[in-house]
Amino acid sequence: MLLNLRIEGKKMGQAHAWKLGIEPNLSHKVEKAGILRSMSLSSLHLDAFFAAAQSLNFSQAARELHITQSALSQRIKALEEDINLTLFVRMPRGVQLTEAGERLLRYCQARNSLEEELIEEMTGNKQDGLGGHLRIAGYSSIVRSILMPAIRPLLMDHPNIQPHFQNAEIRNLRDMLLTGMVDFVVSDSEFHRHDLECVQLGSEEYVLVQSKENPPEREVYLDHDPEDRITQQFLSHQARPVPSYKRAFMDEIYAIIDAAAMGLGKAVVSRHLVEKHPGVEMVPEHKSMKVPVLLYYHRQPFYTDLHKAVVAALTDQCPSLLSAS
């Protein structure tokens, strides 16, 4: 089976670059690199690239395709020669996608999703509702309390959807989306990428809490890890100098809340997580801080019905869940 990619002059080259998931300015590079006006990309080569791009591990990708690692490498090399672009670069620890590789990966993901949807339509399985893989990542205060409840009605109505929710550090979410580990991410940070769609789902309101029964005597603040900056941002948001304080680390948000309830320190957390918590109270004379909650996914010429249903569910449900406090 062959995937036909035709580049006939600058105008047609740009149009088909979008279908490939490559921006028009990159298609110019492809043309300048000497690509023929008409060529075909082998599905075998694309499948080899897709498997390797998803895992960033050639050995694992070869096992998944039931071929040798040498055969996998040869197929990827042939694909790179076909388009005259480098798709992977070798790093001290494994491989990494180039910009062209990231764009080709997005094309392969879209192709795979559309193929699943087409098969469901042709075989009649779509009568049972939407199906396919739903891969979404967010940070710990959002996934369990907001994303899962927001998606739940969609999953209940369409049991053939296979969800995969992932907790991740905010600093890792952008790369998870760009490298194809997930199809959606929800973050509180702006990514500033023109190839990504960004939808604000609402805002988180951060407050400072401490134990009701055992307020801490020392200025100890609880964070995820040394790179977590939410406490520093919250204290800088107050109309007073930032005090000196010690830090303790609890890895994830529910451990932070539990530690605060035990009196191990104060914690800056989302109001919707602690509004009715019996073990903590909000520290007075500290104003809350609002942070946007942003949904990101790749910008594409078209989206599957499942993709559109996920976006609709999140934009419909998340604002009320975030403001439930």
Distances (CA, A) of 176 to 21, 62, 138, 142, 202: 17, 22, 10, 16, 22
Is pLDDT larger for residue 258 or for residue 128? Answer: 258
pLDDT band at 42 (very low <50, low <70, confident <90, very high): confident
Distances (CA, A) of 217 to 62, 107, 143, 168, 266: 57, 56, 32, 32, 10
Nearest-angstrom CA–CA distance, 83 and 78: 9
Nearest-angstrom CA–CA distance, 55 and 220: 40
Pick from 106-115, 132-141, 146-155, 211-220 the range whose average pLDDT is largest: 146-155
In the predicted structure, residue 206 carries a pLDDT above the cut 80: yes
Convert the pLDDT of each residue in 70-107 to its tens digit: 999 999 999 999 999 999 998 888 888 998 998 898 88
Domains by residue range for the chain, with CATH? 2-107 (1.10.10.10), 133-325 (3.40.190.290)
In the predicted structure, residue 37 carries a pLDDT above the cut 60: no
Asked if 43 and 3 count as a contact pair (C-beta separation under 8 A), the reply is yes
Asked if 139 and 187 count as a contact pair (C-beta separation under 8 A), the reply is yes
In the predicted structure, residue 25 carries a pLDDT above the cut 50: no
Structure tokens at 230: 């939410």
- pLDDT at residue 55 in the model: 86
- pLDDT at residue 31 in the model: 46
Q: Which helix (H) or strand (E) holds 41?
A: strand 38-42
- pLDDT at residue 113 in the model: 79
Nearest-angstrom CA–CA distance, 81 and 40: 12
> How would you label 204-225 residue by residue, b for 16+ Cβ within 10 Å and e otherwise?
bbbbbbbbeeeebeeebbbbbe
Convert the pLDDT of each residue in 228-240 to its tens digit: 999 999 999 998 8
Convert the pLDDT of each residue in 172-192 to its tens digit: 999 899 888 899 999 999 998
- pLDDT at residue 126 in the model: 60
Nearest-angstrom CA–CA distance, 71 and 165: 33
- Least trusted range by pLDDT, from 36-50, 56-70, 281-295: 36-50
